[in-house]
Amino acid sequence: MGAVSIRLPDDVSQRLQNLAQMTGRSKTYYMVEAIREHLDDLEDLYLAEQRL
């Protein structure tokens, strides 16, 4: 697994921390899930644009 370092705005970091604490999952889990979902959307968008 590759490692990535990012800086998050304070409000996003706090929301992520709160979610992790409420659910017992790690912040990393939620970051990976968010990136995967957004990547799926972006890939679909770019594939659709290429077909035009």
Q: Is the pLDDT of residue 20 over 90?
A: yes
pLDDT tens-digit map of 27-38: 999 999 999 999
Q: Letter for the amino acid at 49?
A: E
Tell me the C-alpha distance between 20 and 22, whole Å.
6
Q: Is the pLDDT of residue 14 over 90?
A: yes
Each domain of the chain, given as residue ranges in start order, spans 27-52
pTM of this structure: 0.77
Using the structure block, give the residue that is written with the tokens 């604490």.
21
